[in-house]
Amino acid sequence: MNIGNIGTVGIVGAGSMGAGIAQAAAQAGLKVKVVDVGDAAWARARKTIAKSLERMVAKEKITGEQMKEALELLSFSTDVGTLAGVPFVFEAVFEDIGVKKEIFGKLDAVCGDDTVYATNTSSIAITEMASLVKRPARFVGMHFFNPVPMMRLVEVIPAMQTEKAVTDLALAMAVKLGKTPITCKDTPGFVVNRLLIPYILDAVRLLEAGVASAEDIDTAMKLGAGMPMGPFELMDFTGVEISHLVGEIFYGYTKEARFASPGLLRNMVSAGYLGRKTGRGFYDYSEKK
Ligand code: NAD
C-alpha cells in the first residue's frame, strides 16, 4: 500500500485530538469517517472543526470554497462497522488501555488484513498496544500535538512488531496531513514529553523549594529561554492533573526519579486546582480576578 492509494481514513474518538486529525485529513483532501460513542461528541467536534476552518478563512489561509470542500469530506457514525474497508485508521479515544483494547477488538472484527492502525496514545507503550491486535505488524504510533491544526509535529513510533513499510506509510501520512514527522523508538514520552515532563516537574520542585514564584519562573522561561508559555501557564492550560498523571505513568515504566510527581502537584490535583478549567491552578482565574 502506498500513500497515493489512500483516499479514505477512519478516526475512532472525536475528542480534542480526533477532531484535529479529522480536520487535517479533510483539508488534505481525504474522505474522513469518524466514529465516537454518541452524537453529542460529533456535534462538538464538528463545531470545533468548522470554527477552526472559519478562522483560517478569516486569515485568508484557505478560501471559503476549500472550507466547504473539507467539511463535505467528513462523515460520522457511532458504529465501528462503518470502518470496514478503510485502509488507514487513527485511534484517538480516552487514554485508557481497557477502552483502547475494546476498540481494537471491534476494528479487528471488521478491518482487512492490510489496514494500518495508528494510535495517538501519549503514555501507553506502542509495543504493548500492538500486542492487542490481530496484525501487530500493521500497528504504529502517530503522536500528534494539541491543537492539531496549529501544531506541526508528529512523532512516528514503530512498535517492536511494526513492518518498516508501515512506519514509512505513517511518515508519508503525516506529510500528507501537512505535518513534519520525526521517528522515535517506543520509549516513555517519546521525544517531546520525555524532555518536557521532567522540565515541568522540575519547575514545580523549584517552586516547592521557594527558589522563585510561579510568575517569576514563567517570566524567566519566556524571556530567558524563548518559551511561548512558562511551565505553570502551560500546566494551567493543559490541566494540572495531566502533568501529574503522565509523570507518574512514565515513572512507573522507568523508575527514574525525574518523572516522579512532586508533592505540591499531587496536592493540587487532590484539591481540584486543575488550572483554567476549574478556575484555579497555579494562577487564579476566578471572575473577581
Ligand atoms: P478526549 O477526551 O478529548 O477525547 C476522547 C474521545 O474518545 C471522546 O470524544 C470520547 O467520547 C471518545 N471515546 C471514548 N470511548 C470510546 C469508544 N469506546 N468508542 C468511540 N469513541 C470513544 O481525549 P483527547 O485529548 O483527544 O485524547 C485522545 C488520545 O490522544 C489519548 O490517547 C491521548 O493520550 C492522546 N493525546 C492527547 C493529547 C492532548 O493534548 N489532549 C496530545 C497528544 C495525544
**14-67 confidence digits (pLDDT tens):** 999 999 999 999 999 999 999 999 999 999 999 999 999 999 999 999 999 999
Amino acid at 165: A
State how far the Cα of 8 lies from the Cα of 83, in Å rounded to an integer.
Answer: 10
What does the domain layout of the chain look like in residue ranges?
3-183, 192-278
Copy the grid coordinates of residue 5: 492509494
Pocket test for ligand 1, best of 47, 91, 122, 246 (most atoms within 8 A of CB): 122
Chain position carrying cell 512514565 = 250
Q: Which amino acid is at 117?
A: Y
Report the C-alpha gap between 262 and 232 in whole angstroms.
Answer: 14
Q: Which three cell numbers stand for residue 167?
A: 512506519
pLDDT at residue 104 in the model: 98
Q: Is the dihedral of CA 76, 81, 87, 88 positive or negative?
A: positive
> Which superfamily does 3-183 belong to?
NAD(P)-binding Rossmann-like Domain (3.40.50.720)
- 16 Cβ inside 6 Å of ligand 1: yes
The C-alpha atoms of residue 126 and residue 179 are separated, in whole angstroms, by 21
Atom of ligand 1 nearest to the CA of 94: 5
The residue contributing the CA closest to ligand 1 atom 35 is 121
CA distances from 274 to 112, 199, 204, 227, 233 (A): 42, 19, 14, 22, 12
The pLDDT of residue 289 is 55
Report how far residue 136's alpha carbon sits from residue 224's, in angstroms, rounded to the nearest whole number. Answer: 45
For ligand 1, whether the C-beta of 119 sits within 6 Å is no
| pTM reported for the whole predicted model | 0.94
Q: What residue owns the CA closest to ligand 1's atom 15? A: 93
pLDDT confidence of residue 280: 97
Please tell me if the CB atom of residue 167 comes closer than 6 angstroms to any atom of ligand 1: no
Tell whether ligand 1 has an atom less than 6 A from the beta carbon of residue 15: yes
Read off the pLDDT band of 92 (50, 70, 90): very high
Query: 3-183 and 192-278: same fold?
Result: no
Mean pLDDT of the chain: 96
pLDDT given for residue 1 in this prediction: 82
Of 159, 170, 92, 156, residue with least CA distance to 131: 159
Distance CA 4, CA 169 (A): 10
The answer on pLDDT for 101 being more than 80 is yes
What is the Cα–Cα distance from 34 to 12, expressed in whole angstroms?
A: 6
Q: Which helix (H) or strand (E) covers residue 181, if one does?
A: strand 180-183
Q: What is the pLDDT of residues 177-215, one digit of tens each?
A: 999 999 999 999 999 999 999 999 999 999 999 999 999
Omega of the bond prior to 231 within 30 degrees of 0, cis? no
Amino acid at 49: I
Could you report the per-residue pLDDT of 208-244, keeping only the tens digit for each? 999 999 999 999 999 999 999 999 999 999 999 999 9
Residue 57 three-state SS: helix
Superfamily holding 192-278: N-(1-d-carboxylethyl)-l-norvaline Dehydrogenase; domain 2 (1.10.1040.10)
